[in-house]
Amino acid sequence: MTSVWGLIAAALALAFAAAWWRGRVRARVLRAALEAKSQDLEQLQMSFARFAPEEIVERVVAEGVTPHGERKEATTLFADLVGFTTLSESIEPDVLVRILNGYFERMSRAITGHRGHISTFIGDGILALFGALQPNPWQANDAVHAALAMREELADYNRELAAEGLPTLSVGIGLHRGSGVAALVGSRDLMQFTFVGRIVNLAARVQDLTRRFEVDILLTRAVKDTLDGRFELRELPATAVRGIEGEVEIFAVERFRGEA
Amino acid sequence: MALENIEWLDPLVDRERNRELEKYAKQVLGLVPPHAPYLAACPWILRADIHFDTAMAEIQDLADNIYLVVSRDNSCRWCYGASRLLMRLAGMSNAQIEKVEEDVELSRVEPRLRAGLEFARRVSRSNPAPDPASIQALRELGFSEAAIKELALFAAVVVFHNRFATLLALPVSTAERLAPFARLLRFLPLGKLNTLLRAQPRVTAAAPADDKGPFADLTMALGDLPHARVLRDTLDAAWASPILPARTRALIFAVIARGLENDSAEAEARRLLAEEGLESPLVVEDILANLASPELDARESRILPYVRETIWYQPAPVQRQGRALREVLTNAELLDTIGTAALANLVGRVSLALELT
C-alpha cells in the first residue's frame, strides 16, 4: 500500500516538475518574442522620429493620435517638376515611375543632407521643411543650400537620363520663411506631420513664378533677410500672387560664393 | 532595448599615454579607466568625466535611472553600456535592469521617478526646453528648489558624458562585452570603483562667492550642489587649456547657445568674446548667423559649422563629420573642440532650465 502511495507521489511530483519545466520554457519563449517585438517597436519609433519630433512620436505611442499643434518658425521649400504632366502622358508608366523615383531619391538626399525634412510628396511636387522638427536659427541658409544642392543633383541626374535616351527634367523651387502650425494632421487612417499656414501656400505660389521668370530657384524677402550674404541673389519685380494680399518681393538664387 | 544595432564608428582620436593623468585617475578611482588613453591629449575632459559622477545631494535615488534613460535617449552606446555595466556590478541582474527600463518606458514607475525622468529628458532634448509648467509639476511632487536644480544639472551632466563619448566614438565594445560577466567582475579588485558604485554625496566646497570665471552667474545659481563646484572647476580648466584659444572656445559656446535659443548663455559667450577682442556686435552677429566670416581663422571656419551639429544628432553621421574635421585638426585640437562642445551643451541646457527656477 505504502509503495502505491509512493508511486502516486512520485508520479505527481514528476507531473508537477514537467509542468513547471514546460511553463518555464514557454515563459522564456514568450519573453524572447516580447523582447523581439519591443525591439521592433523601438526601431519603428526611431524611424518615425525622422519624420516627426520625438515628443510627438512619444505622445502618439503613449496616447494615440491626439489633436496637438505647435506654432513654430520654419522655412518651407516647395519644388515642382516643370512640364511633367505632359511628359507623363507620353512615356510608358514603368519608365515614368523609374524616372520619378530616381528624381525623388536625389532630391531627398539634397534636402536631408542640409537638415531639411520632407513633409510630403504631392504628385511630382515636394514640400520640405527646415526648422520644423528642431529649432534651427540657420534654417534659411540650410534651405537655400538644399535648393542649390537640388539644382546640382538634377543636373547630374539629367546627364544620366540623357545618356539613356530618356527625357530630361527641370524643376522650379520656391522658398519662404515664416510662422505656421506644426501638427499631425489627416484622417484616422492616414496621418502625417506637416506644417499648416500661409507660409506653405506662399512657397508654392512663389514656385509657380519660376516659370514666368524662367529661373529655377526663387525666394521671398523673409528668406533673404536672414540669409548669408555670400549667396548671390538677383532681385526680380515684386509680383502679385493668388491668395496673397499685396505684391511679393522675390529674388532669384544665382550661386553661393564660398564653401557650403 | 539595447543599443547594439545603432551604427557606431571607430574612435576618432589616437590613444596616447599621459602618466600624470593616469596617476590622477588612479588616485581618485583606484584604476585607470579604459578610455583614458583616448582623452590623454586634453586632460581636462577626463578630469571632468571622473568628477561628474553619480554622487547627488538631493536626488540620489533618481541618479542611476536618469543616467541610463538620458544616455539611451541620446543613443549613446558608450554611456548606456557603461551604465548597464555599473548597474550589473552593483548587483542587479540583466532581467532586473530590463524590468527597470520596461517600467520606465511604460511609465510604470512611482510619480517622483516618472516626473524626474520626464524633466531630465526635457532638459537633455531641449526641444522644447523645460517650461514653467514642468517646474511646477516637480514642485507639486515635493521636489525642493535645490532638488530641481540638481535634477537639471545632472541631466545636463549626462548630456556632457553622452556628447564627448559619442562625438569621439569611444569604443563601446568593452562595456557591452563585459556586462554579461559583471557578476564575476564584482570579485575583482577594482580599486575604489565599488565604493563609487555606492556613490555617497561628497562634501564639496561651494563655488567661490566672488566667482568671476566664465558663466559665473550659472555656477553661483547652482549654489553648493556637489556638481556645481565640479562645473566651476571644469569651466576654469577648459578655459585654461592651452590647446584652443579662449576666443575659439567662446565662439563654440556662442554657437551652441544660439542653436539652443538660449539668450543668456549667448550673452555670456558674447561677453567672453569681447574680452578676447571680438567686440563688434555686428561682426559677432554675422559669425553666429552664418557660422562663417572673414574674421574667423581657418581653424575656426571649420570648427563652427561642426559644433552646431553637436546640438542634435544621430551618432554615425556626426562621427563622420568629426572624422572629416580630424583631417584639419590635431588629435589634441579635435579633443578640445569636442570637449568644449560637450561642455557648452551642458551649460546651454542647464541654464535654460535654471532660468525658470
Q: Sign of the C-alpha dihedral, residues B270, B275, B279, B283?
A: negative
Burial of A18 (0-12, 13-18, 19+ CB in 10 A): exposed
The answer to whether the CB atoms of A137 and B5 lie below 8 A apart is: no
Nearest CB partner across the interface for B289, out of A42, A133, A226: A226
Please state, for a pLDDT cut of 90, what percent of chain A lies above it: 55
Using left for φ > 0, alpha for ψ between -120 and 50, and beta otherwise, residue B213 falls in beta
Look up residue B230 and give its amino acid: V
User: What confidence tens digit (pLDDT) does each residue in A29-64 have?
Assistant: 777 777 776 666 666 666 665 566 566 666 666 656
Of the candidates B210, B223, B244, the one whose C-alpha atom is nearest the C-alpha of residue B343 is B244
How high is the pLDDT of residue B44?
98
For A227, name the nearest residue in chain B, comparing CA atoms only: B290
Q: Which residue has the higher pLDDT, B55 or B167?
A: B167
DSSP calls for B253-296: HHHHHHHTT-HHHHHHHHHHHHHTT---HHHHHHHHHHS--TTS
Nearest CB partner across the interface for B127, out of A62, A135, A228: A135
Q: Which residue has the higher pLDDT, B260 or A68?
A: B260
Find which of B290, B304, B309, B345 to mutate to test the A interface (most A CBs within 10 Å of its CB). Answer: B290
How high is the pLDDT of residue A258?
81
Kindly report which listed range (A177-191, B57-71, B189-203, B220-234) carries the lowest average pLDDT score: B189-203
Nearest CB partner across the interface for B291, out of A136, A138, A229: A138
Per-residue DSSP letter, A47: H
Cell of B250: 567662446
Q: What is the mean pLDDT of chain A?
A: 88
What backbone torsions phi and psi does residue B279 show, to the nearest 5 degrees? -100, -30
Separation of alpha carbons B277 and B67, rounded Å: 39
For residue A178, give Cα distances in angstroms to A225, A243, B60, B177, B250.
12, 16, 44, 49, 30
ipTM for this model: 0.87
Distance between A137 CA and the closest CA of chain B, angstroms? 6
Tell me which chain A residues have a C-beta less than 8 angstroms from the C-beta of B1.
38-39, 42
Distance between B1 CA and the closest CA of chain A, angstroms? 6
Burial of A48 (0-12, 13-18, 19+ CB in 10 A): middle
User: What confidence tens digit (pLDDT) does each residue in A113-132 have?
Assistant: 999 999 889 889 999 999 98
Tell me which chain B residues have a C-beta less than 8 angstroms from the C-beta of A49.
none
Separation of alpha carbons A200 and A78, rounded Å: 8
Which residue is it, cell 556613490?
A: B199
- What's the gap between Cα B45 and its chain centre? 10
The answer to whether the CB atoms of B292 and A55 lie below 8 A apart is: no
State whether residue A127 is helix, strand or coil: strand
Find which of A42, A145, A256 to mutate to test the B interface (most B CBs within 10 Å of its CB). Answer: A42
Residues B314, B128 contacting (CB under 8 angstroms): no
- In this structure, chain A runs to a length of 260
The answer to whether the CB atoms of A138 and B292 lie below 8 A apart is: no
User: What confidence tens digit (pLDDT) does each residue in B170-195 have?
Assistant: 998 766 666 666 666 555 555 555 55
Pairing assessment for the beta strands A171-186 and A217-220 based on DSSP bridges: parallel
Kindly report which listed range (A184-193, B216-225, B258-267, B272-281) carries the lowest average pLDDT score: A184-193
